[in-house]
Structure 1
């Protein structure tokens, strides 16, 4: 059978603007693989339709701007021109003539191209969104291959182009961040009274450094959770973000929460994440994750069990003292726990025994005392929080590290990163994972939300 695809474009008064044949091909009907359109046929049809639509829209726009906006005089033409516009269904070559400015208007330049007023970028927002979304989830190279497989874009997509476009999106998002910091209302801003508390878990991971290949650098990610609101992810490379509080304000707003919302920060007590928590939300309640406290206690207990083979009496006494320190920590008595931990470290340091791992035991005991001293303000009554059903662990933050960092930066794809590149990818990846990337694009390009609303009607019409 012969398949013919034609395109007719009409104006609001049903007058035909343009019409013509888009594609013609023969199609068999006697084999399974011949039923329906193939990928190549569908891509050719889409490319033809897109070319006709974009060309007609550009011609209509040029016709409306052929005359002076003030006096209505016909503008003098300087000559023809051409431009190219990349879309999700092909790159369209367009006529882009230049005109002289009308004498009734102040001249900022001798000539101008009206089409530049419409095509403020040479890539369609829908294609930019697709590139950004998939490059946030998989590698740049795989994204380019995926788009070439399913869209009629030919060889215009490659890894470097996709990466450049993603960085452009991330840079624009950073530039849009408000200068407002969490913890107070903006001038004249009317916000609802905060209800409850937001639980935020922060943790860090390490990725390979492209510029210093012998060392890795830290990437910090977090997850914000509030009852009745969708969860949100965020991430950054500390040296690339001078005001991380702005980013956290954006996270709260995306959850539909005011920036004065009470926040509880859960961290593992590391220096970098503890300092970052204070910058994200200065008024937040900071809590040390119980799991990391218990993990230190468990490590010490293992060394003491080894000591029991050489000095059982001393080992039994140390085990009892460890249990009392752990009990104090569990019930939030950080001051007493610190005094006992410092005494334990001092006594372990003067032990006289043949235990081969004595040095490690001494180091672990001193490390526990230091850890409690550094994080005393974040030690709370974990027993009370546990009884009230409140969180005491950053397990959800650990899973965020695996989801945001490991699967894209480290484990699945053994890549090396610059700090700038990792920071920018984090901005789009976190939004792609929590479903807010599309919202970001519709804020920049409101017409995309109109297209989204038309999808159900178009499906019903089809």
Structure 2
């Protein structure tokens, strides 16, 4: 048995444009359950093909928009085309973007409202940062490569370099309803060292902790010391996420380390902290 996946584009005027994307061949004999449905490789191939065609259609539609010259306000005409490669969750795509020239003043304009600095889609950036927060960079990169047809941004070193910056830009927070104000919050902070067993890999110091409210709410946090992540700001966002107000009583817990106590004080936990014995 064989199927052809066809991409059909319908225009506003009723125009129809179709493209055959991939052909899938599967036996009809289901005595082997492995023959049931699409394989992961076939599904990734279909997603990548649909992504390429969708992006191509969007780029053609966007290129039809003509900007006005920022200098004289006259209409611009197409000068040439430039190709831009973008990393997406469903594969790397190439976007064909026009450049425009003003006939009146000879000025050059790019496409209308195109973000020229973009090299990847926000969806891919968010997923990379989210997975990197839950597991090691190497494991996160492997998960992306196994489940999605990503061609770029799947190397663990890329995730290691980009995750702190992405985390600051995206400020990942769970989509929850507004929290109730907390009368009291207990904040505990500790630090630990992660020593690499591989030659050439760096050792890391990680600061981690959690914030608990008197009503049972809880939020954990962690950051690598010396990275671009602001630990004080991270603790502040954590306190806000569990319901800190100006009237909230904050109590800090550390192992007695002066650096951790100073970090809590800088985050707004100004009451004396309680140290546990190590």
| TM-score between the two structures when normalised by the length of structure 2 | 0.78
Q: Which residue of 2 aligns with 1:235?
A: 222
Mark the CA change 1:56 to 1:257 in structure 2 (over 3 Å): closer, same or farther: farther
Q: Is the 8 A contact 2:223 2:229 kept in 1?
A: no
Name which of 247, 260, 270 aligns with 2:234. 247
Structure 2 unaligned blocks of 5 or more: 173-178
Q: Is the 8 A contact 2:252 2:269 kept in 1?
A: no
Residue 266 of structure 1 deviates from its aligned partner by 1.7
Residue 171 of structure 1 deviates from its aligned partner by 4.6
- SS of residue in 2 equivalent to 1:144: helix
Residue 39 of structure 1 deviates from its aligned partner by 1.4
- Higher relative contact order structure (alpha carbons within 8 Å, sequence separation ≥ 6): 1
> Within 2, Cα distance between the matches of 1:38 and 1:242?
40
Q: Kindly tell me the number of residue pairs found equivalent between the two proteins.
A: 266
Mark the CA change 1:41 to 1:254 in structure 2 (over 3 Å): closer, same or farther: same
Q: What is the Cα-based RMSD across aligned positions, in Å? A: 3.6
> Within 2, Cα distance between the matches of 1:242 and 1:157?
22
Q: Which residue of 2 aligns with 1:264?
A: 251
Q: Is the 8 A contact 1:96 1:115 kept in 2?
A: no
> Within 1, Cα distance between the matches of 2:184 and 2:18?
60
Q: Is the 8 A contact 2:165 2:228 kept in 1?
A: no
Q: Structure 1, residues 165-198: CA drift from partner, whole Å, max 9, x if none?
A: 3133135368x9xxxxxxxxxxxxxxx9954101
Where in structure 2 are the equivalents of 1:363-382 lying within 5 Å?
none
Residue 36 of structure 1 deviates from its aligned partner by 0.4
Residue 116 of structure 1 deviates from its aligned partner by 6.9
> Within 2, Cα distance between the matches of 1:280 and 1:203?
15
Q: Which residue of 2 aligns with 1:95?
A: 96
Q: Is the 8 A contact 1:68 1:102 kept in 2?
A: no
Q: Is the 8 A contact 1:194 1:262 kept in 2?
A: no
Q: Structure 1, residues 82-120: CA drift from partner, whole Å, max 9, x if none?
A: 11111111111121121125758xx9xx42321772464
Mark the CA change 1:151 to 1:235 in structure 2 (over 3 Å): closer, same or farther: closer
| TM-score between the two structures when normalised by the length of structure 1 | 0.50
Mark the CA change 1:16 to 1:286 in structure 2 (over 3 Å): closer, same or farther: farther
Mark the CA change 1:89 to 1:173 in structure 2 (over 3 Å): closer, same or farther: closer
> Within 2, Cα distance between the matches of 1:153 and 1:78?
32
Q: Structure 1, residues 273-329: CA drift from partner, whole Å, max 9, x if none?
A: 22322222253352233xx2xx7xxxxxxxxxxxxxxxxxxxxxxxxxxxxxxxxxx
Structure having the larger proportion of residues in helix: 1
Structure having the larger proportion of residues in strand: 2
Where in structure 2 are the equivalents of 1:63-78 lying within 5 Å?
63-64=64-65, 66-68=66-68, 74-78=75-79
1:55 aligns with 2:56: yes
- SS of residue in 1 equivalent to 2:8: strand
Structure number with bigger Rg: 1
- SS of residue in 1 equivalent to 2:93: strand
Q: Structure 1, residues 114-149: CA drift from partner, whole Å, max 9, x if none?
A: 177246411111212222222233332332222222
- SS of residue in 2 equivalent to 1:258: coil
Q: Structure 1, residues 358-411: CA drift from partner, whole Å, max 9, x if none?
A: xxxxxxxxxxxxxxxxxxxxxxxxxxxxxxxxxxxxxxxxxxxxxxxxxxxxxx
1:198 aligns with 2:185: yes
Q: Which residue of 1 aligns with 2:4?
A: 4
Structure 1 unaligned blocks of 5 or more: 177-191, 296-462
> Within 2, Cα distance between the matches of 1:254 and 1:18?
49
